[in-house]
Amino acid sequence: MREEAARPLSPLATGWRSPRRVVGVILALSVFLMILGGAYAYRHRHDTICKDRRPPVAQLDLELGQVEYKCHDGQIVTKP
């Protein structure tokens, strides 16, 4: 029996976890997430807090994670 056939192959020897493949997967995932983030930002580009689509006049931090916004028309909006 040959000596090479008796030894088990390591994952690096088979190419399953080669550094080139790992970097390629990370790069592909990064590009995919960047495109997905851009699509989300484009889809929600006109979302506003106030109904009149203008930025709030003032904001007040209430509690953990809650912010109260005052709009131009006097409306007060609370967002988590």
User: Domain boundaries in the chain?
Assistant: 1-47, 48-80
Tracing tokens 């080669």 back to the chain, one arrives at 18
CA distances 34 to 23, 31, 40, Å, are 16, 5, 10
pLDDT at 8 over 70: no
51, two tokens: 């109904």
pLDDT at 5 over 80: no
pLDDT at 41 over 70: yes
> Side-chain half-sphere of 23: how many Cα atoms within 13 Å?
3
| Entry pTM | 0.55
Distance between CA atoms of residues 28 and 34, nearest Å: 10
37, two tokens: 């983030």
